[in-house]
Homo-oligomer: A and B are copies of this chain.
Amino acid sequence: MRLAELSERSGVSTATIKYYLRERLLPPGRRVSATQAEYDEGHLRRLRLVRALIQVGRIPVAKARDVLGAVDDDSLDPHLRLGAAVWALPHEPQPDAADTSYEPALRAADALLGEVGWGFSREEGETSPAYRMLVGAIATLHRLGYPCDVRHLLPYARVADQLAEADLQLVGEQESADGQIEAAIAVTVLYEPVLLSLRRLAQAEESNRRFGQGG
């Protein structure tokens, strides 16, 4: 397809597509004349992923290029490519080892992961941005005096387990390894606001049941 059709089908303006091409977020089309190039379904899929990263994930262009670099590195096996791509996403908050809540947060994170039985060693953990994000989030709870022991954290880990099964099911439905990795990134980024908004709606429901006039 031509640039105009790629724009039409993706809902992304031709000016933005040209910008992504210049920034190497999108591979060049197959040149068919001095002024025209031909794009395929792979371009369309990649364009969707770029939009998911930049618009929804609010990931800076340079960081998005890193994520896509990991997606495209076919020297890695699929699980590792998927991991590398998710690792390149932003993970906030990261912990501060000088914080007095850092050690208690590390212990709480390890106790939690031990309890849910995820095969995770402390050594792996220290290099994993998601593990470090967890420690950072628990350290904040601890510092502000909110409960952050295993009893309070476990329900969150259990639902994360359930969601991961649904997420990877969806990833597994994609036919190609490339499609799977793109879907994994998109699912990670795009379902986060779905999850957070549903949690707030469910909280309002539950609050109404417990504290409302009708409760």
Residue ranges of A at the interface with B (Cβ–Cβ < 8 Å): 11, 48, 51-52, 55-56, 77-79, 82-83, 86, 91-93, 113, 118-120, 128, 130-131, 133-134, 136-138, 140-141, 143-147, 152-153, 155-168, 170-172, 180, 183-184, 186-188, 190-208, 210-213, 215
Q: For chain A, what secondary structure do more than half of its interface residues adopt (helix, strand, loop), or is it mixed?
A: helix
B207, A168: Cβ atoms under 8 Å?
A: yes
Q: Which residues does chain B contribute within 8 Å of A206, judged by CB atoms?
A: 161, 164-165, 167-168
Q: Which residues does chain B contribute within 8 Å of A171, judged by CB atoms?
A: 207
Chain B proximity of A103: nearest CB distance (Å): 15
Q: Which residues does chain B contribute within 8 Å of A210, judged by CB atoms?
A: 79, 168, 172
Q: Which residues does chain B contribute within 8 Å of A136, judged by CB atoms?
A: 193
Chain B proximity of A33: nearest CB distance (Å): 29
Assuming A79-B208, A140-B190, what are 5 further A-B pairs, CB within 8 angstroms?
Answer: A86-B200, A91-B197, A134-B194, A140-B193, A160-B198
Q: Which residues does chain B contribute within 8 Å of A144, judged by CB atoms?
A: 48, 51-52, 186, 190
Q: Which residues does chain B contribute within 8 Å of A48, judged by CB atoms?
A: 144-146
A208 nearest in chain B by CB position: B79
* Residues A186 and B146 in contact in the complex (CB < 8 Å), given A156-B191, A168-B203, A194-B156: yes
A141, B79: Cβ atoms under 8 Å?
A: no
Q: Which residues does chain B contribute within 8 Å of A155, judged by CB atoms?
A: 162-163, 166
* Residues A202 and B166 in contact in the complex (CB < 8 Å), given A133-B197, A186-B146, A213-B77: no
B78, A190: Cβ atoms under 8 Å?
A: no
Q: Which residues does chain B contribute within 8 Å of A192, judged by CB atoms?
A: 196, 199
A202 partner, pick from B51, B133, B147, B164, beta carbons under 8 A: B164
* Residues A79 and B198 in contact in the complex (CB < 8 Å), given A56-B140, A190-B137, A193-B137: no
Q: List 8 A-B contacts (CB under 8 A).
A: A48-B144, A48-B145, A77-B212, A79-B215, A119-B205, A152-B170, A157-B202, A180-B211
CA distance A51 to B141 in the complex (A): 11
Chain B proximity of A186: nearest CB distance (Å): 6
